[in-house]
Amino acid sequence: MALGGRGFEGAPGRRRGWTARGEAGGSLSDGLAEVVRLALARVQARAERCGPGSGGGGAGPEPAGAGRAGDRRAGGGPVAIASDHGGFRLKQELVAALRERGYEVVDLGPAEESPCDYPDQALAVARAVAAGQAWRGIVLDGVGIGSAIAANKLPGVRAAVCWEAFGARNARAHNDANVLCLGGRVLGGALAAQIAELFLQTEFEGGRHQRRVDKIAAIERAALGAAAAGVRA
């Protein structure tokens, strides 16, 4: 697996739901692809700090699975994780806890507790999940809300803020959420680890919930289609 300062490439994983390449592996129009590409480029160009996850250079995150104990659980692939300074300490605790439980964790940064911007870190994780390079994602900031807003701007990402176990279970079972957002200033390490493991272990129930998730994807496609039409005009 090759890893770099702008996310990681070639990691095993499966695509879930609609991604920037379209449904069921199809392709979006050139206009839609250009909208997504330009949006990512603008955000990436503003990333000047925050280490590997921000796209601002640096040595890059450590290889997937480094330091983990045992085989990963849940069989989906790597779990990408990143934080801003507000979630840094909790991120460090959570990375250690998940690896201890046998998960394959890819830490996308930052490497130190320096002031940085949560949209950059949310983008790194969301992009890995949307591209199928990570099975699930976890982003931490002070509260978790800002990271969720940022991550949900990327097609194919369903990010959920969870501060307790019931929300984590519901986010997966009913919403098929693929990115978990946590707050370093509202959660302790033990509770965060419990929430994260429940999020990673809970399966999407499908059924009537699939219909609702499909409607979310349809809203997303319609918005991208309108934006693409504006680009072509």
- Name every residue whose Cβ is closer than 8 Å to that of residue 38 and which is 6 or more positions away in sequence: none
More confident site: 53 or 144 = 144
- DSSP structure string for 167-192: HHHHHHHTT---EEEEETTT--HHHH
Q: What is the mean pLDDT of residues 41-68?
A: 42
Q: Quick one: DSSP state of residue 18? A: -
- Name every residue whose Cβ is closer than 8 Å to that of residue 126 and which is 6 or more positions away in sequence: 137, 139, 150, 151, 152, 153, 154, 157, 159, 179
For 27-232, the fitting CATH number among 3.30.70.240, 3.40.1400.10, 3.40.50.300, 1.10.1760.20 is 3.40.1400.10
What's the full length of the chain, in residues?
233
Burial (0-12, 13-18, 19+ Cβ within 10 Å), 33: middle
Residue 40 phi, psi (nearest 5): -65, -40
What pLDDT, on a 0 to 100 scale, did the predictor assign at position 93? 97
79 sits in which H/E element: strand 79-83
Residues belonging to the active site: 174
> How many angstroms separate the CA atoms of 102 and 100, rounded?
5
More confident site: 44 or 214 = 214
On the question of pLDDT at 215 being above 70, the answer is yes
More confident site: 52 or 137 = 137
The candidate with the shortest Cα–Cα distance to 101, out of 70, 139, 136, is 70
Q: Given the DSSP bridges, would you call strands 2-4 and 179-183 parallel, antiparallel or unpaired?
A: unpaired
Report how far apart, in Å, the C-alpha atoms of 30 and of each of 20, 22, 43 are.
Answer: 11, 12, 20
pLDDT digit string (tens) for 145-191? Answer: 999 999 999 999 999 999 999 999 999 999 999 999 999 999 999 99
Domain ranges for the chain, please list them: 27-232
Alpha-carbon Rg for the chain, nearest whole angstrom, is: 17
